[in-house]
Structure 1
Amino acid sequence: MCKLYQFVPIFCISLSVVCAKECSIVVLEDSNEFIKIADCSRRGLSQVPQTLPRDITVLNLRRNNFQIISNFSFKRYRFLQKVTLSENKLQKIEDQAFFGLSRLNNLNMSDNTLDLLTVYTPEMFLPIENLTVLDIQRNIQEHNNDVYRYPDVAFGVFKKIVYLALDLAPIPELGQGFQNLQNLKSLIFDRCFLKFLRGDTFENFTSNLEELRLTRCLHYFLHVDDNALSPFPKIAKINFEGSCMHLKQALSMLSSYSGKTLDIINLRGLNCPRFNSDEYPFVLTVTKDMMRYLKTVCVETLDLSDNGIVDFEENSLLSFDRPECIKHLYFKGNRFAFTKGRQIDELNTFFNKSIALKTFDYSFIPVRYWLEENAVHHNEQNYHSSNNIIYLPRSLEKLILSNLLCNDIRRHFMNRRGSNLTYLDVSYSYSNNVVIFESNASFTTETLVLDGHFHAALYQIEIVNFIHVKTLLWRSANLLYAMYPLDNMFYKRFITWFRKLKKLEHLDMSSNLLWILPDDLFLELDRLSELRLSKNLFQSVPTQIIFCSTIKTLDLRNNLLSTVDYATRVWADLMSTNHGFSLYIEGNAFECKCDNLNFIKWIQETKVDLDSRSYKCTLLNGTVITVLEAYETMHDLFSNCRNSIWLTVSSTLLGTSIIGVVLLIIYSKRWNIAVFFYRKFRKMVEKNMVKVTLMMFSFHMAGTAYLGLHNV
């Protein structure tokens, strides 16, 4: 439980400071220790506010207008444990700026313009020498080829520091002062201009380091020595994602960890096309020699995504001495296919030994487009399909086969009995790859991603048996054509499947050209809590939704709604009262007119969690304003609505009066009217009787004359 207070500054610190919006104060009472958070982010501050409670422990000053931190700015707040000054315009920090913060253990000054060479001094850092986390990354704005001497003496003050994040210059000199950081576990370089990574680059850092992150070194081609990581024999996490150093070099660096155990090796996106050369080509075939060190490492998470891999030699990419160590394997964004014969055999061998594998990502693989004239598949009739079966390990929980363009051969990914597969992504795939399930296999899939197409999914009868799905993502799949017309071949399967999804909690059908939904579509979804229908063509909120009493989030952004009708508003308020409710309706074609006055009021008065209170709406004259403006100036903008209302009321009253007068006249003259109609009716009857009598007499006379003649 937490308590929320609003703290309003009464005065400004100086004339140069503009009074900012109030800071919010939150007290966390359920934690093991007292925590009071002052959130002053995005308040336009340029100096540390001095009127906050003295006992705050966390101060968030993110995204303000700080350029300088003056001496003794935090003296009042001696209990502070965490200060965030990120995303400001900081250029200078005075030596006694942090005076009094002996309890501070976390300081974040990332995303500023602090000059690493001149700003930091031992005197500045001494008051906060107990820091365990320091983040000053993304501060270097310009770089040159001069030697960059880091203020190691200043950083040497932090003998307790565990996490250090800073920038890396093209030619850094990291002095002996960094040897004092013996408790350092994580060294992070997120903005990197490094040119050469040598064996002595990090020699002054502790050998107890467990995590090294050297990411986004994009400005130069990074030349790497094989022994560059030798100063860190105990490292467990290596992350070089997005650094242009070439996969060949990165794999050679692993010589220091041959036969060792690591948690993470992230080598994603190392091959940069703009640094393509004969020695380090962007188009890469993985060789056995390149894998000589990696194959010996026992690693849990291995990411080789986006490295331009188009092929791999025998006993190379999938050859590991201890494949049972691997839990998460990523090949995303490369361009190699598992072809018939050796490569599929190697993959099956690897899967058979990978008894702990939980994640396999083989997505965004552009191998071959479908060209009908090539008639590739006509040449496959002599090759038995059983040779194309890839047997997934039973331990696998997450399989990602999205965005595949592999129209070459058919591959069957077989999910066997006893499988633990809970996450399956086959979105946007245009290939001959098929996920099949062994007979009588259990369907444990809880998350299913079918983005991009509906027919491929509904063709497979196995999908219809995924009755344990809790999250279904079916975006940009033209689902309108699966639902209408009602007699099409997919509609019956679609409805039948939805009737079985009794455990579904999260459903996303965004970007599907939907303007209407089948009746009772959500009737059986008693657990549905999140429904996303954004980027469709709904002109009103589908009535099927308001029969769902469990929805907590409804997303109807970027549709064609002109209003939210009364029934939906009542339902939304009820959901908000029962269990909380979020409604996202930004980007619709709302109209500010007389018929929508109740909707405009509801937007400002409801307790429903909305994504905005100032949606754009259009007046009758075409002017675009916000709903908030319409609410605040309602009497001026919609004064004509009252005139029309009174005109309607008066017309109704006048018509009612006229009808009433006519009815009263009729009632008062009722006997006269009755006698009048009685006389009219009697005359008509008498006249008809005379005619009937004359006719009968004529017939009688005629009959008598006939008989007389006959006797004669």
Structure 2
Amino acid sequence: MIILNTFAWVALFVAHIVSTATSPCLVQDEDKNETAVDCSHLLLTSLPPLDFYDVTSLDFSFNTLSFLHGSSFSRLTQLGHLDLSHNVLQTLDKQSFQGLRELRKLDLSSNNLSDLPSGIFVDVPNLEVLKLDHNKLKTLGRDIFRDRTHLRHLDLGNNDLQVLNNDTFSHLPLLTWLGVGSNRLERLEAGAMTGLNSLISLDLSHNHLSLIATVFPPRVFASLGKLQVLHLEHNDDSQNGEYPDNVFNDLVSLTSLTIDTFSDMNFGQDFAALRNIHTLDFSGNCKIRHLANDSLEGFKNSSLTFLHFEGCGMNDIELCAFCELLSLKQLWIIDQHWMTPNKALESLYGLQFQNMTEILLSNVGDYLQFLHVIDSHSARFLRNICVSSLSMVHSGLQRLAGNALTVRNSPFLNCIEHADFSQNRFMGDTSAFVKLITSKGRLRTLSLQDQHTFSIGDAQCLVSQDFGCKEDLVIGFHHVTTIVVNTPPNLTYLNISSVFPHFNPLPVNITFPSATKLEALDLSYLGMANCYATWYGLQNLKTFNLNGNYCFNISETMFDFLDSLKQLGLSRIGISPDFFLSRGWRLFQNLDRLEALDLSRNNLQFADPEMLRAQTRLTKLDFSFNRFQTVPVNVDNHGDLKMLDLSHNFLTTLTSSEQSALDSLAGRHTFSLKLVGNPLECACYNLDMVQWLWHTSVSLDGEGREANYTCTTGSGEITSTERVMAQWMSHWRHCVGSQIFGIAMSAFLLQILSIVVVFVTARSWTQLCYAWKAVRRHRLPRRHNFRRDAYVVYSDVERDVILACVKLREVLEEIYSVRLLLPDREDLPGSVKAETIVQHIDHSWKVVLLVTRDFSQDEWACGFTVQQAQRSITDTMPDRVIVVFFEEPRVLPAMPSLRLLLRMVPERNILHVHRDTPPQHPVWKTLADLITREQS
């Protein structure tokens, strides 16, 4: 018997150890005897064994708990935070929280609680934060919060409460935040707020509390002498009415009030006691149609600084509506669709000669069928206000008169720092903005973007890939050499994006002599005819946006003096498809601080992978919506790169070296790659890339490690990378089977060939032996058998002579140690030219032709010299001639002799080089290798 009992105890002990070891909960941290246990998101239907006796924080959120046992947490005597939110609890036992005397925060939000038993919180005397929001509570017992004197935060929002009874909160003297928003409250009893002497914030929004005396009894807020924030919006839907008397005058500490309004609103003497109020917000449920001179009379002695009207539907503001608001700093009039901007500006009469922080007039008058003109008369009151920030956004403004805002020495002109007139319809006269930009005031930011003056056809042209139509937008080419733009000395941001439908070609030089603080310049979608300009005076510019212009004739020196540039936008600029193949490195060579570059939507097909080798700080590269078939940049040069966008190109695969380079970036930091929209292939040769896409640590298209892409199989079937991985063995067997069949067929053909060779050898043995001896006696020529490595052929024109005798000589001889034979350096006076050319070719290992426009017009060079170069090509030296084009072949005159020569020259021996290519460019190394390479 003793043995059986002992065995039973051992079995129970082992079961306990196993259950504890396999507990689904996670101990998050242990520090100074404090332990947090996370049991969230485990789909638990009941509580697991709770043997974490020293736990201080316990999280059971996002499970499916429907009930709690009477003493589930009784052993957790040190528990300070318990989270039971986002479960399906319907009822609670009176002893559910027994023993939790140290509990400070309890979260029961987002459950199905419809009732709370009396005394439910009696065992948690030190509770400070209680969240009961997003349940189904209909009533609150009068004693539900009895003796919870430490409670500071109580959230009852999003329940089904219909009334707040007397003395419900009378036992909460330290409560500072109370949320009862989004319920179905229809009335407050007279003593509903009794005892809330420390309350600072009260949310009663989104209920059914009509602003009448039967709902708000007199002095219902009498206990709220410390209340600072009150939300009463989205309660009363009545169009007409008056605020009840003797309700709000006890809120002497109130600083922020958000409340519903009536059509003819009047804040009378009941609000005169709110002397400390600084925020009055009518953005929730505003129904004001007419704002009269006395509508805000109750706040004339207050410290009101922020006044917010939004969506009210106002169509009229009387002239002196704001006359008594002497402390007003911010005025927002938003979404007043039927009020003219001129009427809004006239309402500023009462703010004359005040110092203000911000005036915001957004979406004012935008529903009216006519456009608005702001002239000197309508803006006369604004000019007399010293305001730091003015916004008149999306208000249907057609014109701003030249002297409307820029009267000399006006308070407005001397004080304005931020101006935003974006999303209007300005057209024609822009002198007012020119005066703002060129003023010597305090202006720091100016935005005029998106003026919507384009026709539908123009807009479609600017956002399309059809760059030909953009040439038709150009009007009147003006040959201007230099433009000087004087700006305010403090200007840091200038945005004139989409201001003009057409913009004449840029001058050669654009100078900003006073823009020493300008950091962001947005000139996108201006319909520029070209970008052949160099920018001066912007040495501190960090962001430059040229998206959507027509920059086919872009200047290589355009960014030479923008040393501080970090973000550059060159999307949709219509640049030549091969510009970045030969000249990209020159365009970006001085931008060594660049961090983000956008070259998307340019129809690009080729790019020099080393063109951004100097931009080692790049973190974001966007090549999307082009025609690249390979990764257009060497990512090994950019160790800080965090995002590479190659979406919507013509990529079919990623090579193993590209995969390794991308993995290397992901190993350093979070790295994102976008590939969606490419015609990826998942044929047999490409299965390694499909596997890489599935297992790489690179974040693919923002979907983490397992992004799914459409791809095409070797047989032309459209599938997806996810499906290929799901059927991996089937694809692998198919590919391996094809390879084995190919090997078997090759072995069979090799056997047939062996039989044929044996048969032919047996019949012609003597002839083969003689031929073999002849071949052994004849040796292939070698480089050391010749006096010089290369004979250089070029025209007699001075610039070609300089190209050959200076640049080519310095690069090949001094850097790569190639021995050159240059006619201008070697030929003696009086020598016979034809004989000399023949001797030079015979004594040189290779012949290099420098093809330029002058060369093609030189009859001697294109005739006799080219023919002799052709003669030098033999069976033992088939790679003897190298042709270097310094001009595009399609623009050169026809050269019959050169055409015949090119038929005999392999394509790898034909190079395309720009005259300004620097000595460090890889093309010179390629040329040196072609010259010194031995015959195989």
**TM-score with structure 1 length normalisation?**
0.68
Q: 1:91 to 1:517 in 2, by over 3 A?
A: farther
State the SS of the aligned residue for 2:345: helix
For residues 269 and 398 of structure 1, the distance between their equivalents in structure 2, rounded to whole angstroms, comes to 23
Q: 1:323 to 1:457 in 2, by over 3 A?
A: farther
Q: 2:490 aligns with which of 389, 395, 413?
A: 395
Q: 1:186 aligns with which of 279, 285, 289?
A: 279
For residues 644 and 212 of structure 1, the distance between their equivalents in structure 2, rounded to whole angstroms, comes to 72
Paired position in structure 2 for 1:364: 450
Paired position in structure 1 for 2:522: 425
Paired position in structure 2 for 1:7: 40
* Residues 351-500 of structure 1: pairs in structure 2 closer than 5 A: 354-365=440-451, 391-405=486-500, 415-417=512-514, 419-430=516-527, 441=537, 443-455=539-551, 458-459=554-555, 462-479=558-575, 481=576, 483-484=578-579, 492=583, 494-500=584-590
- Structure 1 residue 255 displacement after superposition: 1.9
Paired position in structure 1 for 2:773: none
2:323 is the alignment partner of 1:323: no
State the SS of the aligned residue for 1:421: coil
- Structure 1 residue 523 displacement after superposition: 1.2
- Structure 1 residue 236 displacement after superposition: 1.2
Q: 1:573 aligns with which of 651, 663, 684?
A: 663
State the SS of the aligned residue for 2:554: helix
- Structure 1 residue 484 displacement after superposition: 4.7
The amino acid across from 1:474 in the alignment is: L
Q: 1:661 to 1:179 in 2, by over 3 A?
A: farther
| CA contact 1:614–1:626 (8 Å) conserved in 2 | no
2:338 is the alignment partner of 1:251: no
Q: 1:477 to 1:189 in 2, by over 3 A?
A: farther
Q: 2:638 aligns with which of 525, 545, 548?
A: 548
For residues 516 and 548 of structure 2, the distance between their equivalents in structure 1, rounded to whole angstroms, comes to 26
Report how many aligned residue pairs link the two structures: 625
- Structure 1 residue 584 displacement after superposition: 3.8
State the SS of the aligned residue for 2:601: coil
Q: 1:295 aligns with which of 383, 389, 402?
A: 383
Q: 1:228 aligns with which of 321, 328, 342?
A: 321
State the SS of the aligned residue for 1:250: helix
* Residues 336-347 of structure 1: pairs in structure 2 closer than 5 A: 336=426, 339=429, 344=431
Q: Deviations over 1:507-563 (max 9, x none)?
A: 122333334433312211111011223344445544533542220122334445566
For residues 179 and 365 of structure 2, the distance between their equivalents in structure 1, rounded to whole angstroms, comes to 34
| CA contact 1:402–1:425 (8 Å) conserved in 2 | yes
Q: 2:308 aligns with which of 194, 213, 224?
A: 213
For residues 586 and 194 of structure 2, the distance between their equivalents in structure 1, rounded to whole angstroms, comes to 66
For residues 236 and 10 of structure 1, the distance between their equivalents in structure 2, rounded to whole angstroms, comes to 52
Q: 1:148 to 1:548 in 2, by over 3 A?
A: farther
- Structure 1 residue 13 displacement after superposition: 9.6
Computing the radius of gyration from Cα coordinates, the structure with the larger value is 2
* Residues 122-141 of structure 1: pairs in structure 2 closer than 5 A: 123=192, 130-132=199-201, 136=205
State the SS of the aligned residue for 2:347: helix
Q: Deviations over 1:357-415 (max 9, x none)?
A: 1112233346698999999969x99xx999x9763222211111211226599999862
Q: 1:38 to 1:622 in 2, by over 3 A?
A: farther
| CA contact 1:453–1:477 (8 Å) conserved in 2 | yes
* Residues 91-102 of structure 1: pairs in structure 2 closer than 5 A: 95=164
State the SS of the aligned residue for 1:452: coil
For residues 375 and 534 of structure 1, the distance between their equivalents in structure 2, rounded to whole angstroms, comes to 27
2:330 is the alignment partner of 1:237: yes
* More displaced 10-residue stretch of structure 1: 293-302 or 410-419: 410-419
The amino acid across from 1:255 in the alignment is: Y
For residues 657 and 180 of structure 2, the distance between their equivalents in structure 1, rounded to whole angstroms, comes to 48
Q: 1:520 aligns with which of 610, 633, 642?
A: 610
For residues 385 and 688 of structure 2, the distance between their equivalents in structure 1, rounded to whole angstroms, comes to 66
- Structure 1 residue 310 displacement after superposition: 3.3
The amino acid across from 1:186 in the alignment is: T
State the SS of the aligned residue for 1:404: coil
Paired position in structure 1 for 2:74: none
Q: Deviations over 1:586-628 (max 9, x none)?
A: 5555666766665555556544444114535357599988766
State the SS of the aligned residue for 2:634: helix
Paired position in structure 2 for 1:638: 728
Paired position in structure 2 for 1:615: 708
- Structure 1 residue 354 displacement after superposition: 3.7
Taking every aligned residue pair, what percent have the same amino acid on both sides? Answer: 18
Q: 1:526 to 1:681 in 2, by over 3 A?
A: same
For residues 432 and 513 of structure 1, the distance between their equivalents in structure 2, rounded to whole angstroms, comes to 18
Q: 1:257 to 1:373 in 2, by over 3 A?
A: same
| CA contact 1:264–1:302 (8 Å) conserved in 2 | yes
For residues 364 and 749 of structure 2, the distance between their equivalents in structure 1, rounded to whole angstroms, comes to 86
2:267 is the alignment partner of 1:198: no
The amino acid across from 1:503 in the alignment is: R
Paired position in structure 2 for 1:709: none
| CA contact 2:366–2:394 (8 Å) conserved in 1 | no
For residues 456 and 299 of structure 1, the distance between their equivalents in structure 2, rounded to whole angstroms, comes to 43
State the SS of the aligned residue for 2:441: coil
For residues 475 and 375 of structure 1, the distance between their equivalents in structure 2, rounded to whole angstroms, comes to 19
Q: Deviations over 1:200-244 (max 9, x none)?
A: 444455822222222344xx4522122333453212111213322
Paired position in structure 1 for 2:396: 308
* Residues 650-669 of structure 1: pairs in structure 2 closer than 5 A: 651=741
State the SS of the aligned residue for 1:130: coil
| CA contact 2:236–2:260 (8 Å) conserved in 1 | no
Paired position in structure 2 for 1:506: 596
- Structure 1 residue 639 displacement after superposition: 3.5
State the SS of the aligned residue for 1:238: strand
The amino acid across from 1:228 in the alignment is: A
State the SS of the aligned residue for 2:390: strand
Q: 1:104 to 1:587 in 2, by over 3 A?
A: farther
For residues 350 and 318 of structure 1, the distance between their equivalents in structure 2, rounded to whole angstroms, comes to 7
Q: 2:672 aligns with which of 582, 585, 594?
A: 582
State the SS of the aligned residue for 2:589: helix
Paired position in structure 1 for 2:891: none
| CA contact 2:530–2:551 (8 Å) conserved in 1 | no
Q: Deviations over 1:454-482 (max 9, x none)?
A: 41782595544323210011222234x25
The amino acid across from 2:350 in the alignment is: S
Q: 1:287 to 1:573 in 2, by over 3 A?
A: same
- Structure 1 residue 328 displacement after superposition: 1.1
Q: Deviations over 1:416-469 (max 9, x none)?
A: 24632221111110369999989x735321110001024178259554432321
Q: 1:130 to 1:644 in 2, by over 3 A?
A: same
The amino acid across from 1:298 in the alignment is: C
For residues 500 and 254 of structure 2, the distance between their equivalents in structure 1, rounded to whole angstroms, comes to 48
Q: 1:526 to 1:176 in 2, by over 3 A?
A: same
* Residues 42-57 of structure 1: pairs in structure 2 closer than 5 A: none
For residues 466 and 642 of structure 1, the distance between their equivalents in structure 2, rounded to whole angstroms, comes to 53
Q: 1:643 to 1:364 in 2, by over 3 A?
A: closer
For residues 622 and 446 of structure 1, the distance between their equivalents in structure 2, rounded to whole angstroms, comes to 47
Unaligned runs of 5+ in 2: 1-27, 30-35, 48-59, 66-79, 112-132, 208-231, 459-469, 771-936
Q: Deviations over 1:467-507 (max 9, x none)?
A: 3210011222234x253596xxxx63x44121221110011
**TM-score with structure 2 length normalisation?**
0.54
The amino acid across from 2:448 in the alignment is: Y
| CA contact 2:528–2:550 (8 Å) conserved in 1 | no
State the SS of the aligned residue for 1:188: strand
State the SS of the aligned residue for 2:664: helix
Unaligned runs of 5+ in 1: 24-34, 277-281, 667-672, 686-712
The amino acid across from 1:198 in the alignment is: A
For residues 426 and 517 of structure 1, the distance between their equivalents in structure 2, rounded to whole angstroms, comes to 25
- Structure 1 residue 123 displacement after superposition: 3.6
The amino acid across from 2:349 in the alignment is: S
Q: 1:152 to 1:579 in 2, by over 3 A?
A: farther
State the SS of the aligned residue for 1:227: coil
